[in-house]
A and B are shown apart, each in its own frame.
Chain A
């Protein structure tokens, strides 16, 4: 099937079409001073003209906090303190305007939540299965972008169901998966002209060419694990880091979580929250012993996990080059420099 087109002025109608059949459509929106993916309201418009959202739409499938179980704490009830699963059913959802880097991050999250464990994660699974990704290619990658180092690119389609290209007056929509194709078919959009497809290709090539030379973190896979771990490089590298954890909070592939119970009146909850390897508490034993006692070990863990351990386990780095950690680090720590140092 050929590509489809949506005029810029017709975007609202396109989104309304997506919302039919009760679909939730997530799109980037201004939210408390940042740009985050939120469910769009009827007739709402996403903010598609920013380079990338402050937070990736990771939270659509892995929310910062989510209840897993509920229970009553009323001792008079027969089911007091008996955990009940929070229902996971929900409508099909579309993430509109996800960038190709963040879409590749979903594939990394798939590995963590669906392959890495002894069991699949049911909370992730249910949300992931009913989520479609309509990605927006990046016409002008930022200076902090390095998706091309990690196996991606500004118009890579890996992980997407539909790729959208901003042609200025028109959005070009190209199906990537069968699900994406079926979605576009159902919406009965106009077919794109051959010249528009050609323009899209040209924009993609220009975007890629603007990104400069790529370094290859896959060289780290060949390095000896224990030698990298014991490298004197870490002694100095961590010193600027204040262990604020913003890198892990913004990272589209960071997936560590904590599980906590909470009681409010007669209602009890067991839920999970995003966690971070930057905090001492994450690994602190009840005995007081901490396997990663200082900032050096915690800093090393973040980069060794992303660039070495995950690569050893799955063949790819646990980084998609979105550049958020580079952009928002208060201490100017740049993962690209770490990649270069570890590959050297």
Chain B
């Protein structure tokens, strides 16, 4: 057994203790009002400095008396001064969070997990395929790549939702669409009033847009049904399992690989993931 002394560290911060943050802004993202984004600001400058994250990582949002909930970080590390989390109202903690107002205090514990392999993306073309509200850490990734544009090859974004009112980050999406250094394809399932973009499912759009697999990576995040039908399309286009990157969700508590809840084969989604290549996932049971 190692002892604390051998680790050569001074007072180690309790990894279960959240940083105190203030809700700076609440944004209702969807027309069903079930998804809100929370812009959080650290109370202490020191905490903000300590919270160094990469796109794809997540954090535990903490509301004392209710509990914690693991949520992907939707802001990019290049967007200084705040963190952005987009939360679907589903359980006890997320419901409590949805009832909170600007100015209120809460906690953030993280950053947790392994983010997207941005080093591997250097000089490569990256295709980002997202569906529904699983676009949170994809927003972070795209924004990060745009803020370091010269490091990456072509960037293609394919993002779909059932209807226009369910697309997240509309202003950001428009801004990306107006740029000439990124290729965006936003789609909805069926025709809708006021919608001039694409109509069709994400897998079909992916096939039509047909990103080239050479020197490329594809990130796929979305509902299981979208993933199920997008995978064969990517395979047909020539993407190998090592070029396809996904982000998993599992019920989690500790977020640091100890409590055992998110155990999937010999991996822990919280610490070994949540980002995995399809090649890695093919080697472990699909218990997620």
Contact = CB atoms under 8 A, between A and B. Distances in A.
B258 A117 contact: yes
Contacts of B288: 291
Name, among B105, B263, B284, B288, the residue most crowded by chain A CB atoms within 10 Å (CB to CB): B263
Interface in B178-225: 224
Contacts, number: 140
B259 A309 contact: no
B149 interface: no
A277 interface: yes
A85 B1 contact: no
A118 interface: yes
The SS class assigned to the B binding surface is: loop
B272 to A, nearest CB: 10
A115 B257 CA distance: 10
A225 interface: yes
Given A118-B112, A118-B257, A286-B90, A81 B65 contact: yes
Interface in B238-288: 249-251, 253-254, 256-261, 263-266, 268, 271, 283-288
Given A81-B65, A283-B250, A226 B285 contact: yes
A117 B251 contact: no
Interface stretch (B13-21, B123-131, B138-146, B152-160): B13-21
B262 to A, nearest CB: 8
Interface string A236-260: 0000000000000000000111111
Interface stretch (A7-15, A44-52, A119-127): A119-127
- Kindly state the interface size class of chain B when it binds its partner: 35 or more
Nearest to A126: B4
Contact of A258 (B90, B253, B268): B253
Nearest to A258: B253
B257 A309 contact: no
Contact of A81 (B3, B64, B224): B64
B66 interface: yes
Contacts of A286: 90-91, 94
A229 B265 contact: yes
B12 interface: yes
- Kindly state the interface size class of chain A when it binds its partner: 35 or more
A122 B12 contact: yes
A81 B105 contact: yes
Nearest to B7: A120
B50 to A, nearest CB: 13
Nearest to B112: A118
B1 A128 contact: yes
A301 interface: yes
Interface string A212-226: 000000000000011
14 contacts: A82-B20, A83-B107, A116-B268, A117-B15, A118-B15, A118-B256, A122-B14, A129-B3, A229-B265, A256-B259, A259-B253, A275-B261, A297-B287, A308-B266
Which 10 pairs show the lowest CB-CB distances between chains A and B? A256-B260, A286-B90, A119-B15, A117-B257, A117-B258, A81-B64, A309-B266, A291-B287, A286-B91, A118-B256
Given A128-B1, A229-B265, 5 more contacts: A81-B105, A85-B17, A120-B12, A283-B261, A291-B264
